[in-house]
Amino acid sequence: MPLTAYLIVSAVIFTIGVIGVLIRRNPLIIFMSIELMLNAVNLSFVALSHFLDSVDGQMFVFLVLTVAAAEVVVGLALIVSIFRTRHNIDVDEMNVLRG
């Protein structure tokens, strides 16, 4: 398969992630969409690393995976802590701060 095919799939997945972040109101789903974006980037890095014959891309994939795992930890902890105080995690309800 040509490199373009991989890059197109990656771009499509990334776009799905962006749309998900923009239209969904549940932080968990938004968060999943962000993970989708990160994994789209991983796909393009792996494909590029293979086609360019360089290790940089694969190194990046490991960094991104690690960071994504760390983000899950912090993000879910935040969501749980918010749910404990207001029993509702809809992002439209988070409107105390504005102006």
Interface residue with other proteins among 1, 2, 74, 87 (CB under 8 A) is: 74
SS3 content of the chain, % helix, strand, coil (to 5): 80, 0, 20
DSSP state of 87: S
Site string for other proteins, 19-58 (x = CB under 8 A): --x-----x--xx--x--xx-xx--xx--x---xxxxxx-
HEC profile of 30-76: HHHHHHHHHHHHHHHHHHHHHHHCCCHHHHHHHHHHHHHHHHHHHHH
Binding site for other proteins (CB under 8 A): 7, 10, 14, 17, 21, 27, 30-31, 34, 37-38, 40-41, 44-45, 48, 52-57, 59-60, 63-64, 67, 70-71, 74-75, 77-79, 81-82, 85-86, 91, 94, 96-99
